[in-house]
Amino acid sequence: MDCIKNVNPAAYNYLKEVNQEKWTLVHDHGHRYGAMTTNLSECFNGVLKGARSLPITAMVKFTFYKVNSYFDERRNKTLEKLEEGQVWCKYAYDNFEENQEKAKLHIVRRMSAQQRLYTVETQSSLLNTGGGDHTHRVSLIDMTCTCGKWEANKIPCSHLIAVCAKHNHDATEYMDHFYRLEERYHSYEPIFQPLKDRLEWPEPTERRTVMPNQRLIREKGRPKSTRIRNEMDDEDRELPTSLWIENGPKLKCGLCRQEGHNHRTCPTRNVASTSHGAM
């Protein structure tokens, strides 16, 4: 915040007025599990990649079958891991094991056995500027550590693991249960029902007249269309489900109009840039 204040005081004042629980990890009380809004938006973009610039009907079908395949694939993978005896998801356990290695170098001191309060000293690190040589307060009753990582990610930090290792506690008991593969399986458990044929669609009870927004009406003349045309443009023609999942619409380069790349990675553009630089 001090850096923002030095660069742009107006931005600093604006951020001070916004509810910090809505945009910061340190004040969200662990509700985000360490995931920022940008991470979530990238997840949605990854699922819906390929649905852009399609006709509305094609876009809806593509989205439906893509999300269904996403659920089916992850449901089966999670079930396989459960049958193998795996308890925690890979992301959480990888973080846990990494913190275990760090915990081996920590020094633990018990402040109160009744209050289950401890201090953990970390050694200085020559490889990481500003890293190490700190003292953290760990409370097993409040389930807090002054480093903030345990509360933000709901995964035991290295300081908590060091306390558990010295006093013979199971550190995985302090891992949030939502990281269990059983919980992950329940997330993808719902099964999508196949879409009905258009002849089975119910008749609408009422028909509404949709009026255009006068402020959005374009000027005369046909605008240049960049929409990707496909088999859905043919009236009353259904596209096979497998085609939507495996062989989605292919983008064409805006420079050479060839498939398989875009204008940023176009070989023609790269050759032109190289020859330009040589001159």
Closest CA to 102 of 158, 171, 150: 158
The larger pLDDT score, comparing residue 203 to residue 78, is at 78
Asked if residue 225 is part of any domain, the answer here is no
Average pLDDT on 144-168 reads: 93
Give domain status of residue 213, yes or no: no
What percent of the chain has pLDDT above 70?
83
179 assigned to some structural domain: no
pLDDT of residue 166: 92
158 and 94, same domain (yes or no): yes
Provide the pLDDT for residue 136.
Answer: 94
> Are 130 and 167 in the same domain?
yes
Q: Are 168 and 101 found together in one domain?
A: yes
Rounded distance, CA 84 to CA 81, Å? 5
11 lies in the same domain as 75 = yes
- Looking at per-residue pLDDT, the higher value among 229 and 5 belongs to 5
Residue 254 lies in a domain: no
- The phi and psi torsions of 63 (rounded to 5 degrees) equal -65, -45
Q: Residue 82: its pLDDT value, please?
A: 94
How far is CA 23 from each of CA 35, 36, 37, 70, 74, rounded to the nearest angstrom?
11, 8, 8, 28, 29
Q: Are residues 112 and 166 in the same domain?
A: yes
pLDDT score of 161:
96
Torsion of CA 33, 189, 96, 159, to 10 degrees: 40
The candidate with the shortest Cα–Cα distance to 121, out of 132, 107, 109, is 107
Q: Are residues 135 and 167 in the same domain?
A: yes
Q: Give the residue ranges of DSSP H helices in 49-103.
A: 56-83, 90-103
Contact (CB, 8 A) for 186 and 89:
no
Confidence at 75, pLDDT banded by 50, 70, 90: very high
Q: What is the pLDDT of residue 272?
A: 52
Q: Are residues 96 and 77 in the same domain?
A: no
pLDDT at 230: 56
Q: Do 69 and 117 belong together in one domain?
A: no
Q: How many domains does the chain have?
A: 2
* pLDDT tens track for 217-226: 777 777 666 5
Do 101 and 28 belong to one domain?
no
pLDDT at 84 > cutoff 90: yes
Final residue in a domain of this structure, among 136, 155, 174: 174
Looking at the structure, do residues 68 and 100 belong to the same domain, yes or no?
A: no
Contact (CB, 8 A) for 186 and 78: no
Last residue of a domain, one of 174, 200, 235: 174
pLDDT for residue 78: 95
In a domain, 189, yes or no: no
pLDDT of residue 279: 47
Residues paired with residue 204 on neighbouring β-strands, in sequence order = none
Cα radius of gyration (the chain): 27
Q: Is residue 226 part of a domain?
A: no
Q: Which of 179, 163, 148 is nearest to 100 (CA)?
A: 163
**112 plus 82 within the same structural domain:** no
Does 153 reside within a domain? yes
pLDDT for 110: 94
Domain range spanning residue 99? 90-174
- Mean residue pLDDT across the chain: 82
pLDDT at position 273 over 70: no
